[in-house]
Amino acid sequence: MSSTAIDTHAHGHGHAEHHAPRGLMRWITTTNHKEIGTLYLVWSLLMLFVGGGMAMVIRAELFQPGMQFVNPQFFNSMTTMHALIMVFAMIMPAFAGFANWMIPLMIGAPDMALPRLNNWSFWLLPFAVGLLLLTLFMPGGAPAGGWTLYPPLVLQTADAFPFAVFAVHLLGVSSILAAINIIVTIMNLRAPGMTLLKMPMFVWTWLITAYLLVLAMPVLAGAVTMLLTDRFFGTSFFSAAGGGDPVLFQHIFWFFGHPEVYIIILPAFGIVSEIIPTFARKPLFGYAAMVYATASIAFLSLVVWAHHMFTAGMPLAGQLFFMLSTMIIAVPTGVKVFNWTATLWKGSLTFETPMLYALAFLFLFTLGGFSGLMLAIVPADVQYHDTYFVVAHFHYVLVPGALFGAFGGAYYWLPKWTGYMYDEKLGKLHFWLTCIFTNLTFFPQHFLGLAGMPRRIPDYAPQFADFNMMSSIGAFGLGLSQLLFVYIIVKCVRGGPKATAQVWDNPAGLEWTVPSPAPHHTFDEPPVIK
């Protein structure tokens, strides 16, 4: 946020529970942005363990060569469901939770613009995910063709197929409704004087993410609807036998799928852009450049999709276009990394848990970005494609990138949400365990991929054994470390040292002008931004 003087008055009051239902009905019927934010965040933590449990099954099976615990069909279901759950049910709702909690507080709005739609957006999620998880118990098992749902393989899914397709539709509707709400909230409910270029970076990244969601999610819905009609209504969109083209599905899927990567990572960029200035005690370097870089990344994400398909066959001109457009994304991303680094330069740095996560994000996400550049090079990609190198790459983007951003944000705003400081020693312990085990899990996968180990297989040749064992030990440690995160949150919710309104040392932003915990209603009278 650019330097802004804030005239604060009458921010919060305590008429919280007037005519509010109690117990379960309070949470089912709530239209309060803070409560819905809490629902999203608790839900995503639950899903972290569901999706993480599936990852444990995968890594247990891969601990050593040979078939150990599960059959290949179930292993493939685990890889498919792990990805679907982590992407659609865990990390996207986590950032929706941050958006619900923080956007109205950051822009001085009393609530989201469409509170009942907000409630509906959240409550679609449990039904969609329930539908998806129930396919595990259906005859023939859950979908096992990978989260990309490529035909013709996915059309071999047994009874679970229409349920999975319906679940994906519901998840998409939930995301689109949340995105619409976020856009209209930001565009219409900003406090007087808060121009677009005075908005906090987190709000900017979410505004851009929300537009990406409205553009990309319907394309996925269209693709899976066409799969459904191919399977049940005799169409041949993707069936070569009927004159269709299976590669067409890959184009449509990745037209959604690549922006989806940025839908996941941009809000994490926003969180890191809030954390680093606070703990460097300096304003964000190059605020306007950060905004334009974010918008450029979002635009470019719409024109790079076929870099996922270099081995599917495409004309040389297509390969060149998608290789170069992918590499160009490194420019605005480099601007962001440079600006975060410049914000740190000569700052009065302290290393509380949120800052540790932000710094780890900076180093490790950049590492994931570099392996992405390697994959963008067509002749190299032909070698790396469908190997563990790709698995290592996208996990470096999504775990130290998106998940570390979410952890950093959780520690950063937890005192504002609960009114209590979390246990800093335990927070740092959680950070170091998570950081070490993340690298132990995913770094060896680069070597496995470069040595030629294919992804999505339950068994492998003996020469891959050592790195797989290291990766599995890292994964078990990473999973167990998250129990500590739950303990820290529960401990913080139950009590601890009282948090002040500012929480940290002079942070910027309207959210720090309201008491901690933030009252049920805030900004009934809009603050004036001078």
Partner 1 sequence: MSDRALKAAGAAQRGDGEDAARAAKIRRSAWLLAGVAVFFYVGYMAWMVIRANVG
Nearest 5°: CA angle at 21, between 19 and 24?
165
Residues of 30-39 as b/e, b for ≥16 C-beta within 10 angstroms?
Answer: bebbbbbbbb
Q: Which of 198, 282, 428, 455 is catalytic?
A: 455
Q: Which of 157, 209, 273, 294 is catalytic?
A: 273
Rounded Cα distance, 214 and 180, in Å: 7
Judge whether 262 counts as a catalytic residue: yes
Q: Would strands 12-13 and 6-7 be described as parallel, antiparallel, or unpaired?
A: unpaired
Q: Which is nearer to partner 1, 159 or 524 (CB)?
A: 524
Tell me which residues in 93-122 interact with partner 1 (CB under 8 A): 110-111, 113-115, 117
Interface mask toward partner 1 for 483-512; x: CB under 8 A:
------------------------------
Q: Which of 33, 307, 393, 521 is catalytic?
A: 307
Judge whether 82 counts as a catalytic residue: yes
Judge whether 521 counts as a catalytic residue: no
Structure tokens that stand for 173 in this block:
């509707």
Q: Which stretch binds partner 1 (CB under 8 A): 196-204, 212-220, 379-387, 457-465?
A: 212-220
- CA torsion sign for 297, 373, 52, 430 is negative
219 binds partner 1 (CB under 8 A): yes
Rounded Cα distance, 461 and 65, in Å: 7
Among all chains, which residue has been given the structure tokens 């509010």? 20
Judge whether 278 counts as a catalytic residue: no
Tell me which residues in 279-338 interact with partner 1 (CB under 8 A): none
Cross-strand partners of 12: 522
Q: Which of 35, 230, 260, 511 is catalytic?
A: 260
Closest to 420 (Cα-Cα) out of 283, 294, 518, 522: 518
Closest to 174 (Cα-Cα) out of 142, 221, 136, 135: 221
Q: Which of 34, 190, 231, 308 is catalytic?
A: 308
Interface mask toward partner 1 for 182-201; x: CB under 8 A:
-xx--xx-------------
Judge whether 231 counts as a catalytic residue: no
**Rounded to 5 degrees, what are φ and ψ at 4?**
-140, 125
Interface mask toward partner 1 for 245-284; x: CB under 8 A:
---x---x--------------------------------
Minimum CB–partner distance for residue 99 and partner 1 (Å)? 16
For the residues of 65-108, what is the DSSP string, one character each? SS--SS-HHHHHHHHHHHHHIIIIIIIHHHHHHHHHHHHHHHHT
Q: How many helices (H) and strands (E) does the chain have?
A: 17, 4
Q: Which of 43, 101, 147, 204 is catalytic?
A: 147
Q: Which residues contact 519 (CB under 8 A, 6 or more apart)?
A: 11, 12, 13, 14, 16
526 binds partner 1 (CB under 8 A): yes
Interface mask toward partner 1 for 162-181; x: CB under 8 A:
--------------x--xxx
Q: Which is nearer to partner 1, 32 or 278 (CB)?
A: 32
* Residue 509 DSSP one-character state: S
Q: How far is CA 396 from the centre of its chain?
A: 13
Q: Which stretch binds partner 1 (CB under 8 A): 41-49, 281-289, 329-337, 522-530?
A: 522-530
Q: Which of 278, 333, 434, 441 is catalytic?
A: 333
By 3-state DSSP, what share of the chain in percent is helix, strand and coil, each rounded to 5?
70, 0, 25
Minimum CB–partner distance for residue 299 and partner 1 (Å)? 16
Q: Would strands 521-522 and 6-7 be described as parallel, antiparallel, or unpaired?
A: unpaired
**Near partner 1 by CB under 8 A: residue from 4, 31, 38, 383:** 31
Structure tokens that stand for 4 in this block:
């802004």
Closest to 322 (Cα-Cα) out of 375, 389, 248, 247: 375
Rounded Cα distance, 169 and 162, in Å: 10
Minimum CB–partner distance for residue 221 and partner 1 (Å)? 5
Judge whether 9 counts as a catalytic residue: no
243 binds partner 1 (CB under 8 A): yes
Q: Which is nearer to partner 1, 466 or 525 (CB)?
A: 525
* Residue 454 DSSP one-character state: B
Query: In the chain, how long is the greatest CA-to-CA distance?
Result: 69
Minimum CB–partner distance for residue 252 and partner 1 (Å)? 7
What is the 3-class SS of 306-330, one letter each residue?
A: HHHHHHHCCCHHHHHHHHHHHHHCH
Judge whether 308 counts as a catalytic residue: yes
Rounded Cα distance, 220 and 304, in Å: 16
Q: Which is nearer to partner 1, 31 or 148 (CB)?
A: 31
Q: Which is nearer to partner 1, 212 or 376 (CB)?
A: 212
Q: Which of 111, 274, 352, 511 is catalytic?
A: 111
Alpha helices per DSSP H over 233-245: none
Judge whether 348 counts as a catalytic residue: no
218 binds partner 1 (CB under 8 A): yes
Interface mask toward partner 1 for 402-421; x: CB under 8 A:
--------------------
Size of the residue set binding partner 1 (CB under 8 A):
38
221 binds partner 1 (CB under 8 A): yes
Q: Which is nearer to partner 1, 139 or 243 (CB)?
A: 243
Tell me which residues in 127-166 interact with partner 1 (CB under 8 A): none
Rounded Cα distance, 56 and 34, in Å: 33
**Near partner 1 by CB under 8 A: residue from 43, 75, 122, 237:** 237
With beta carbons less than 8 A apart as the criterion, state whether 93 and 39 touch: no
**Near partner 1 by CB under 8 A: residue from 41, 217, 271, 344:** 217
Active site amino acids:
82, 111, 147, 174-175, 258, 260, 262, 273, 307-308, 333, 336, 455
Residues contributing to the site for partner 1 (CB under 8 A): 31-32, 110-111, 113-115, 117, 176, 179-181, 183-184, 187-188, 214-215, 217-219, 221-223, 225-226, 236-237, 243-244, 248, 252, 521-526
